[in-house]
Amino acid sequence: MSFPLLTATAALPAVGAIATAAVPAARRTAAKWLALFFSLATLALAVVVAVRFDPDGDRYQLTESRAWIKDFGVRYELGVDGIGVALIALTALLIPFIILAGWHDADPLETKSSRWRPTQGFFALILAVEAMVIISFEATDVFLFYIFFEAMLIPMYFLIGGFGDRAHSGSDENASAQRSYAAVKFLLYNLVGGLIMLAAVIGLYVVAGNFSLQEIAEARANGSLDMATNTERLLFLGFFFAFAVKAPLWPLHTWLPNAMGEATAPVAVLITAVVDKVGTFAMLRFCLQLFPEASKWATPVILVLALVSIVYGALLAVGQRDIKRLVAYASISHFGFIILGIFAMTSQGQSGATLYMVNHGISTAALMLVAGFLISRRGSRLIADYGGVQKVAPVLAGTFLIGGLATLSLPGLAPFVSEFLVLVGTFARYPAVGIIATFGIVLAALYTLVLYQRTMTGPVKPEVASMPDLKVRELAVVAPLIALLIVLGVYPKPVTELVNPAVKHTMSDVQKKDPKPDVEAAK
């Protein structure tokens, strides 16, 4: 029997979570290093998965299949396509940086008399989320996917509510109430989406007789499984609703600004750069593959919702006074671009959307983590409390600027390539939609440059006059992310070659071909 590489990749951070939680209370530093070790070991396995994967081979590779709940046809089935491999690599890459960036985030909660071990719990929860996200990218059994799609809400709830940001101008009681509110809102929104999806999962089993993604998709393709039109549309809506909440798509987005605003910066990155990607990934894997006709039927409405997300998120980002909430609304706009690319139903759009997931994860991590370092120094999230930072902390200001420029998709940085592909793919089939979407780019330049101007330039405020620059640990977090933004900005080929064959399969699922250009190329 071959080595179960996919199981090992998901199981390793789960084992790390248990081991980290079991570290004695007095060994906080040991718990941190243990968590970092397991995250790096998971990254090494993710690299092996990427190396072993053949983009020109079968659609799903490194597959594993074992009987699980025989009476209900539930199997433990794993497999990855190029899109899954790219997102597993992104997740495994970001977690070590999240752990390093949050090295001291749980320290204020430590007391000598307390039996609760917040440091161990904080890092154990991060590793638990990583394990559940990775197996969500690997699962090809719909029921197995659903279990971990929902289970990851539990550790995220505690990370937001129990280890939230303490940079508040108000009282400790008010700050605690806001963290609890954000955590409960996150949980309720996603639970409602999950319950609706559960009804759709059960309905899919009633219609198909099993939960295997590959078997159901093959049966639909060869005509042996014929769903009634209304049934397919209802099932699609059940799945899509849950994924749109997770993504998040307007108007189901309102939990995200609260969650990112009240979470620590590393946990905010975990939310938007890692966990939320499960929603957009699932739209590609499950919605389009299982319900191709319903996906095409719903496309006009989804494109409108994506456009609203792009413009609405960017407009609200312009008006924000809180740094972290600004990044949260910017992410809503970016997720609008991702969903726009998916449902443009062109190979350029879907390749761009997948590349956007990866690049958004890296750029948001860079910007938010530097913002977290800035906030930890000043103790405030309000933009108005800063000014002249570039004169006292030039490296911090420089990395903040690069992260911001990546967010506005500056040419030469990674997000530009993905945003360009999304817009090209959208213009090819829906020119009017593509034109409206470009307004999001203009607004992105506005909120990013205004944020930098108000925080980093101008006279030095007395409160930031003694602000230290980035330290070695912080540079170790930011520098690799900045390097990746530049490398993928000028050479995205490794990622596009990985995901393009999977995109071709998805286009085949929905029986769509790229529109022919109006003007033929010169021979």
CA atoms of 348 and 325, how far apart (whole Å)? 31
3-state secondary structure of 227: coil
Q: Residue 333 domain-assigned?
A: yes
The pLDDT value given to residue 520: 61
CA atoms of 18 and 40, how far apart (whole Å)? 16
Burial class (CB in 10 A: 0-12, 13-18, 19+), 503: buried
Q: Residue 521 domain-assigned?
A: no
Contact 127, 94 (CB under 8 A): no
Return the number of other C-beta atoms located less than 10 Å from residue 37's C-beta. 15
Reading the block at residue 339, the tokens are: 């969903």
CA atoms of 421 and 194, how far apart (whole Å)? 31
CA distances from 474 to 192, 274, 378 (A): 38, 20, 16
Reading the block at residue 319, the tokens are: 């008006």
Contact 340, 425 (CB under 8 A): no
Reading the block at residue 291, the tokens are: 């319900």
The pLDDT value given to residue 522: 53
Which H or E run contains 362?
A: helix 347-378
Max Cα separation, the chain?
Answer: 79
**What's the Rg (C-alpha) of the chain?**
22
Q: Residue 519 domain-assigned?
A: no
Residue 345's domain comprises: 5-509
Handedness of CA 202, 340, 355, 395 (dihedral sign): negative
Ranges of the chain with pLDDT below 70 = 1, 110-116, 166-173, 517-523
- Report how far apart the first and last C-alpha atoms of the chain are (Å, whole number): 53
The string of pLDDT tens digits covering residues 126-172 is 999 999 999 999 999 999 999 999 999 999 999 998 887 766 545 56
Contact 389, 464 (CB under 8 A): yes
3-state secondary structure of 4: coil
CA atoms of 420 and 221, how far apart (whole Å)? 32
CA atoms of 6 and 266, how far apart (whole Å)? 26
Burial class (CB in 10 A: 0-12, 13-18, 19+), 15: middle
Return the number of other C-beta atoms located less than 10 Å from residue 412's C-beta. 12
The pLDDT value given to residue 172: 60
The pLDDT value given to residue 385: 87
Within its chain, how far is the Cα of 254 from the centroid? Answer: 16
The string of pLDDT tens digits covering residues 382-408 is 898 898 899 999 999 999 999 999 998
CA atoms of 138 and 78, how far apart (whole Å)? 5
Q: Residue 250 domain-assigned?
A: yes
The pLDDT value given to residue 169: 47
Which of 354, 348, 333 lies closest to 437 in space, CA to CA?
A: 333
CA atoms of 135 and 137, how far apart (whole Å)? 5
The pLDDT value given to residue 1: 47
Q: Residue 282 domain-assigned?
A: yes
Burial class (CB in 10 A: 0-12, 13-18, 19+), 247: buried
Q: Residue 453 domain-assigned?
A: yes
Within its chain, how far is the Cα of 33 from the centroid? Answer: 25
Q: Residue 387 domain-assigned?
A: yes
Q: Residue 514 domain-assigned?
A: no
Q: For residue 149, give every residue at least 6 positions away whose Cβ sits within 8 Å of its Cβ, in sequence order, or none.
A: 136, 194, 197, 242, 246, 278, 282
Contact 288, 509 (CB under 8 A): yes
Total domains, the chain: 1
CA atoms of 352 and 426, how far apart (whole Å)? 10
What 314-321 contacts at long range (C-beta under 8 Å, 24+ apart), as own/partner pairs, is 314/439, 314/440, 314/443, 314/444, 314/446, 314/447, 315/443, 317/443, 317/444, 317/447, 318/443, 318/446, 318/447, 318/450, 320/383, 320/447, 321/382, 321/383, 321/384
Q: For residue 450, give every residue at least 6 positions away whose Cβ sits within 8 Å of its Cβ, in sequence order, or none.
A: 318
**Side chain identity at 138, as an amino acid letter?**
E
Contact 132, 159 (CB under 8 A): no
CA distances from 369 to 130, 205, 475 (A): 18, 42, 11
Burial class (CB in 10 A: 0-12, 13-18, 19+), 395: middle
